[in-house]
């Protein structure tokens, strides 16, 4: 397996070819620009539809399987008897009903997500959305949500990155569920520095007041699927869920592609 991939600095000058990654020609052109080779191992054949992750590399992906915490989705090693007292949930008040992830954020998955987000390796997207949809769609269909909402980026960060990965991952989920995506309902109203070096308590503190719901939005008890790429401590999704609930949302179900453990 390839080693961990350090995030590349965002270039100051934007390459016009990447200026709008949503353009259709971009997707159509992928197959021409990139040879059909796995972009993780560089050895085996893999197609654009697979997100350029070959079958052998996909074998390394660890799905999140029971037993896990019913609230925050933390996988629990070993057999479970009775109620699982989750240390993650014990001292944090979560405002979402549940948080679930498709796969564990380790090794290949972690590397792919970092390259996707920070190096604009957008060809991995079908692999990531495939992971998410396979697990999330059957479970969410039973809950009958009304709306899919991605975790927003701060506008400055979104301009730098040129895309919001959560919105891109949320769009095919909304389509598969046959419900609307609302990428403007939540706004990030203050800028936060990277959270990777903060403790759980510091992250929660850091997220207070960061998100707001679009003024005048009427949520009227609607069930909302809140989507992000990775769930780490839950500080970000929890802060989003809090303002959604305060604005009248019904249940909030968090889904992420990956989960840190
Ligand atoms: Zn491979
Ligand atoms: Zn928990």
Taking the domains of the chain in order of start, what are their residue ranges? 61-72+94-259
> How many whole angstroms from 254 Cα to the centroid of ligand 2?
13
Q: 19-38: string of b/e by CB count within 10 Å (b at 16+)?
A: eeeeeeebeeebeeeeeeeb
Sign of dihedral through CA atoms 46, 49, 52, 55? negative
> How many whole angstroms from 255 Cα to the centroid of ligand 2?
14
Residues of the chain scoring pLDDT < 50: 1-19, 21
Identify the bridge partners of residue 39 per DSSP, sorted by sequence position.
none
Q: Contact, 189 vs 217, CB < 8 A?
A: no
Q: Contact, 226 vs 252, CB < 8 A?
A: yes
61-72+94-259 fold? Rossmann fold (3.40.50)
pTM of the model: 0.84
Ligand located closest to 261 CA: 2
Lookup result for tokens 């052109």: 29
Count Cβ atoms within 10 A of the Cβ of residue 252 and give its class: 0-12 exposed, 13-18 middle, 19 or more buried. Answer: buried
Predicted local distance difference test score (pLDDT) of residue 26: 59
> How many whole angstroms from 60 Cα to the centroid of ligand 1?
10
> How many whole angstroms from 48 Cα to the centroid of ligand 1?
13
> How many whole angstroms from 70 Cα to the centroid of ligand 2?
7
Count Cβ atoms within 10 A of the Cβ of residue 197 and give its class: 0-12 exposed, 13-18 middle, 19 or more buried. Answer: exposed
> How many whole angstroms from 133 Cα to the centroid of ligand 1?
21
Residues with CB under 5 A from ligand 2 (ion): 69, 71-72, 74, 86, 88-89
Could you give the CA distance from residue 243 to residue 205 in angstroms, rounded to a whole number?
Answer: 15
> How many whole angstroms from 74 Cα to the centroid of ligand 1?
28
Lookup result for tokens 């995030």: 7
Q: Contact, 32 vs 74, CB < 8 A?
A: no
Ligand located closest to 46 CA: 1
Lookup result for tokens 């301009």: 159
Predicted local distance difference test score (pLDDT) of residue 130: 97
């Amino acid at each position: 397996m390839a080693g961990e991939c350090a995030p590349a600095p965002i270039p100051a000058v934007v390459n016009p070819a990447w200026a709008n990654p949503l353009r259709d020609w971009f997707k159509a052109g992928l197959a021409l620009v990139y040879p059909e080779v796995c972009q993780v191992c560089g050895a085996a054949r893999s197609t654009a539809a697979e997100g350029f992750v070959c079958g052998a590399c996909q074998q390394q992906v660890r799905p999140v399987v029971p037993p896990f915490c019913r609230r925050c989705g933390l996988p629990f090693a070993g057999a479970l008897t009775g109620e699982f007292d989750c240390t993650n949930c014990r001292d944090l008040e979560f405002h979402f009903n549940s948080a679930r992830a498709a796969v564990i954020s380790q090794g290949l998955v972690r590397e792919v997500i970092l390259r996707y987000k920070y190096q604009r390796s957008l060809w991995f997207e079908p692999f990531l959305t495939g992971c998410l949809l396979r697990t999330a769609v059957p479970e969410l269909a039973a809950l009958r949500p009304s709306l899919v909402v991605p975790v927003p980026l701060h506008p400055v960060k979104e301009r730098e990155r040129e895309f919001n990965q959560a919105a891109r991952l949320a769009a095919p989920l909304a389509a598969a569920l046959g419900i609307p995506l609302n990428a403007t309902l939540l706004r990030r109203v203050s800028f936060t520095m990277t959270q990777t070096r903060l403790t759980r308590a510091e992250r929660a503190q850091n997220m207070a007041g960061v998100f707001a719901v679009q003024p005048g939005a009427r949520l009227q008890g609607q069930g909302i699927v809140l989507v992000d790429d990775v769930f780490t401590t839950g500080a970000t999704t929890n802060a989003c869920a809090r303002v959604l609930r305060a604005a009248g949302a019904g249940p909030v179900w968090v889904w992420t592609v990956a989960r840190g453990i």
